[in-house]
Structure 1
Amino acid sequence: MRKLKLQMNILLDNKWDSGMSNFSIDNLKSVDCILHGRKTAEGFIPYWAEVASNPNDTEHQLGKLFKEIPNAVFSNTLKVSKWDNTTIISGDIKEEIKVLKNKNGKDIIVYGGDSFASSLIQHDLVDEFYLFVNPAELGNGQQTFNPLKNDLELKLVNCKPFACGAVLLYYTR
């Protein structure tokens, strides 16, 4: 059975680095489907298609992978895909994702979307969690803090894992 991987960012400011990109590229090598909720798909798919079309973009390699790997969008409002290489899935989320997971192939990955990810977690459909806890905020997604006007320019001083799985990240300015 295919695994469903959830990769999310918990973010504050506007930073991303090559190590995060390399991790994401490596993580994509084990999947053959990118699953989205409708809201995330509307920004994610066009953005990465644009990056993939620009060989001078620093994230071109990642964009090409996002464009090449088939997408599935879970939506009860969209009936037809408006994006290339993308299918629409609707119906009962638990049953439809189980069908998707039982198909032959590599694993499936989901990139956030707070409400969609919450639904997947609530229905016990996520097999692996990859959480970037980062003092950055990307795009126009849900914001933990009010929009920041300037980069925070934080320095990681210490990272402390706890037995329960929580991680304390200690930053200074």
Structure 2
Amino acid sequence: MRKLKVQMNISLDNVWDRGMSNFSLDNLKDVDCILHGRKTGEGFIPYWTDVANNSNDSEHKLGKRFSEIPNVVFSNTLTVSKWENTTLIKGDLQQEIKVLKNKEGKEIMVYGGDSFVSSLIEHDLVDELYLLINPAAIGNGQQTFNPLKKDVKLKLVKCSPFESGTVLLYYTR
């Protein structure tokens, strides 16, 4: 069964450094599917496609990798994919993700989307969780996870600091 990994950058001001880019590239080496909720997909896919098409962008290499990996957008409202290399799935979240995890292939990566990630966690679909915590005072930001209805047990596997002060927390179920 394929693993479902979640990587989230928790900050509203998007503190980013080269170490985080290198980590993100490395974290994609065994990934052949990027899964998004509709809201994240609508921003993520066009943004990284533009970065991939701009060889002068400092994140060009990461953008190219994101663009090479097929995307899957979970949406009950979209009827047609607006993006290349992207498939839409709809229906029961738990059932559809289990089908996706049971398909032949490498790991599946999810990037952000607070309510989408909360739903995945709530349904015990997340195998690995990578939180990049930025040390920025952001005031009245949105809650990262919607209130969960049950306890979620996670085991801390690794804690790594980056040059910017951001800290990676890597958990497994």
> Structure 2 regions of 5+ residues with no counterpart?
142-154, 166-173
Corresponding residue for 2:170?
A: none
In 2, the alpha carbon distance for the partners of 1:122 and 1:5 equals 14
1:38 corresponding residue in structure 2: 38
What does residue 120 of structure 1 align with?
120
Structure 1 vs Structure 2 CA RMSD: 2.0
With normalisation by structure 2, the TM-score equals 0.79
Match of 1:92 in 2: 92
User: Retained in 2: the 8 A contact 1:13–1:135?
Assistant: no
Matches within 5 A, 1:5-154: 5-136=5-136, 145-146=139-140
Q: Secondary structure at the match of 1:48?
A: helix
1:136 and 1:45 mapped to 2: Cα distance? 26
Matches of 1:78 and 1:12, distance apart in 2: 27
| Whole-angstrom distance in 2 between the partners of 1:146 and 1:6 | 24
CA shift at 1:37, angstroms? Answer: 0.1
Cα distance in 2 for residues equivalent to 1:88 and 1:13: 30
Q: Distance in 2 between matches of 1:132 and 1:41?
A: 19
For residue 119 of structure 1, report the CA deviation from its aligned partner. 0.4
Inter-CA distance 121–14: structure 2 relative to 1 (3 Å threshold): closer
Aligned length: 146
Q: Relative to structure 1, is the Cα distance of residues 110 and 14 closer, same or farther in structure 2, using a 3 angstrom cutoff? A: closer
Paired with 1:46 and 1:136, the residues of 2 have a C-alpha distance of 26
| In structure 1, C-alpha distance between the alignment counterparts of 2:32 and 2:109, rounded to whole Å | 8
**2:108 counterpart SS class:** strand
Deviating above 6 A after TM superposition, structure 1's stretches of 4 or more consecutive aligned residues are none
Distance 1:72 1:9, change over 3 A: same
More deviation, 10-19/61-70 = 10-19
Q: Which residue of 2 aligns with 1:153?
A: none
- Kindly name which structure, 1 or 2, has the bigger radius of gyration based on alpha carbons: 1
Q: Deviations over 1:65-101 (max 9, x none)?
A: 1111000000000111000000000000000000000
Comparing 23-32 with 8-17, which one deviates more in the overlay? Answer: 8-17
Paired letter, 2:8: M
Task: Specify the code of the residue in structure 2 equivalent to 1:15.
Answer: V
Shift, 1:12, TM fit: 4.8
- Structure 1: state its 5+ residue gaps: 138-143, 148-163
| TM-superposed deviation, 1:134 | 0.9
Structure 1 SS opposite 2:50: helix
Q: CA deviation at 1:146?
A: 4.4
SS at match of 1:62: helix
TM-score normalised over the length of structure 1: 0.79
Amino acid at match of 2:19: G
Q: Once the 2 structures are TM-superposed, how far is the Cα of residue 103 of structure 1 from its aligned partner?
A: 0.4
